[in-house]
Homo-oligomer: A and B are copies of this chain.
Amino acid sequence: MADKYCSVENAKFLLHDVHGFEDILKFKRYEDFDKENVDLLIDSVKDLADKEYFPYFEEMDAKPAAYKDGEIWAHPQVKTIFEKSGDMGLTGATFDYDHGGMQLPFMANIASGYILTAANNAAVMYTGLTAGAAHLITSFGTQELIDKYVPNMLNGKWGGTMCLTEPQAGSSLSDITTTAYPQADGTYKIEGQKIFISSGDHPYTENIVHLTLARIEGAPAGTKGISLFVVPKMRIQEDGSLVSNDVKAVGDFQKLGQKGNATVHLAFGENKDSQGWLVGEENRGLKHMFQMMNGARIDVGLNGAAIASAAYFASLQYAQERPQGRRLNNSGRKDVSEGQTFIINHPDVRRMLFLQKAVSEGALSLVMEAGRLHDISHQSTDAKEKEEAHLLLELLTPIVKTYPSEMGRTSVDNGLQILGGYGFCTDFPLQQYYRDIRISALYEGTTGIQSLDLLGRKVTMQNGRAMMLLMGKIQETMKAASTYDEFKPYIKTLGGKLEQTQEILQHLLQYAMKGEHEKFLADANIFMEFFSTIVIGWQWLKMATVAKEALVTGNLVQPSEFYESKIHTMKFFYKYEMPKTAAAMEILKNGDFLTILEMEKELIM
């Protein structure tokens, strides 16, 4: 394919130059990897994406997965995706050797996932969810469960899903009612309905392993009575053969985007013959699920960043090739005797392109930062470093999930605008990116839920220790940047924003201390907007400093424009994006709780 949908150069720049992958490679678990073989792996992932993912991106949208005649149909390329991803070891890339994985560093897996997702975000969900499900089994399941299920999930023979949502409960998991009835042999009979199950059914793997939340009969109400089960589509018999396990696709959800991925309504135990196996401890299913949730939320952030990146390159190509109009001359007029210019030369088009670049690369850098913290928190042998990385990751995760989803969408929207009327047409991929990226702010916890998590839990945990750690990290970046006079104004801006963050938190925490929790959290979304912008500002200062260093030392892997472009985009972010925090600050300090106070007398009409 001639079309560019991602930047391998940028992925490597982030990995090696910005986020110090070499530190991660020192961990024992990763002893078989070095920069060279990881780079080769990334190149081969790009090759796979070029051949098997990107060419089907539009087609899988045009022919959506759908429920027909009692079955789910999906694009046949899904079969190839499972097979190739399994063959190359990508589905289980980060898993233990013992489980059939290659112990790839999480950070490197983000680089790989970025490429595959940018190429075809609907396709990558099939193997991504399989890995997530397998990971739950290896983390909390018995050796027997691991042996029985995981190898086939990682090699591409079987698929996997996560079954959380139910029709009556939505995001409120405390209200789920799917029931697990204990059997004499230690297994359970599962009965209930699950909706919105991504990759929930298709004919392209022999089996699909559903990691399912359910309530053991008689368990306490609320989230404390939820357990986790393996409930396969096909039950494995003594002789290894597979028989139906009474898990049935009873419908699907036709969607705005990501149409290539089947979103399924599943019925468990309609004939009282759906067998499940407990994973981990009774009544701790939600806890187990949420230990995986950080990873899933990073993946959603990656989904947003990757789609935004693909959209950026599509818009950029159009802007470089489309002649239209003329630049203004000094008399404020256009000379029609001149030939047309390419639209990339119009300042407003440039503004939108830089916005796309600033958002998509800023978002990807933050996802990579999270990847690094994930690796450290799991692999470090230094207890303090490990714990700090864990805390930082806990704090950053809602932002990692939300910024690429929310601002990624704005970025794609600007990208569509660049194409004018063509952006609205199916001849160009922008309209698909605009539809596909819309899911990111919804699944694995909506933006509202992420914002409550950030302000209500993460900011305050351990008396604000994670926040203090993060402030320290940001100050380290400011210090490194201060080597270069050119960066002084941006360091000053960022420092000021950190002070404002303290100020606004003190202001908001007053309400929490008075027990006015609804007021404390009423504008959590606005705080998310405020703070995530600052966090991305931090990422841009970090990238620009590394780029400057490369230019000053002459230690260049890419042409010098690559690094100059980073510095320029950082400046763009500080000019056009950072000021939004001023607006958010004004809202957060406003003491009129207009969304709460009038509830007694309904004024929304």
Contact = CB atoms under 8 A, between A and B. Distances in A.
B222 A336 contact: yes
Interface string A414-438: 0011001101111100010011001
In the complex, the count of this chain's copies comes to 2
A171 interface: yes
Contact of A332 (B254, B316, B515): B515
Interface stretch (A74-82, A129-137, A534-542, A579-587): A579-587
A231 to B, nearest CB: 21
B604 A565 contact: yes
Interface string A145-186: 000000000000000000001001111101100000000000
Contact of A353 (B174, B584, B604): B604
Contacts of A324: 169-172, 175
A132 to B, nearest CB: 18
A327 interface: yes
Interface stretch (A89-97, A496-504, A522-530): A522-530
Contact of A328 (B425, B518, B604): B518
Interface string A434-464: 1100110111001110011000100000000
A257 to B, nearest CB: 7
Contact of A347 (B254, B322, B417, B518): B518
A601 interface: yes
A99 interface: no
Given A255-B424, A332-B515, A512-B332, A575 B590 contact: yes
A171 B446 contact: no
Contacts of A223: 336
A317 to B, nearest CB: 11
B426 A446 contact: no
A331 interface: yes
Interface string A317-351: 00000111111111110101100100011111111
Contacts of A562: 605
Task: Tell me if A's interface is mostly helix, strand, loop or mixed.
Answer: helix
Contact of A594 (B328, B568, B584): B568
A544 to B, nearest CB: 12
A157 to B, nearest CB: 29
Nearest to A516: B330
Given A330-B515, A568-B594, A594-B572, A340 B604 contact: no
Contacts of A584: 579
Interface residues of A, number: 113
A455 B256 CA distance: 36
A531 interface: no
Contacts of A420: 170-171, 442, 446
Nearest to A341: B172
Interface in A28-72: none
A35 B6 CA distance: 60
B594 A571 contact: yes
Interface string A577-603: 001111110110010111110110111
Contact of A446 (B255, B417, B446, B604): B417
Interface of A: 165, 168-172, 174-175, 195-196, 221-223, 253-257, 316, 322-332, 334, 336-337, 340, 344-351, 353-354, 357, 409, 413, 416-417, 420-421, 423-427, 431, 434-435, 438-439, 441-443, 446-448, 451-452, 456, 512, 515-518, 520-526, 561-562, 564-565, 568-569, 571-572, 575-576, 579-584, 586-587, 590, 592-596, 598-599, 601-605
15 contacts: A174-B336, A175-B336, A196-B421, A330-B516, A332-B456, A332-B515, A348-B448, A348-B452, A350-B596, A434-B438, A565-B605, A569-B603, A579-B582, A582-B586, A583-B583
> Which 4 pairs show the lowest CB-CB distances between chains A and B?
A222-B336, A332-B517, A579-B586, A579-B583
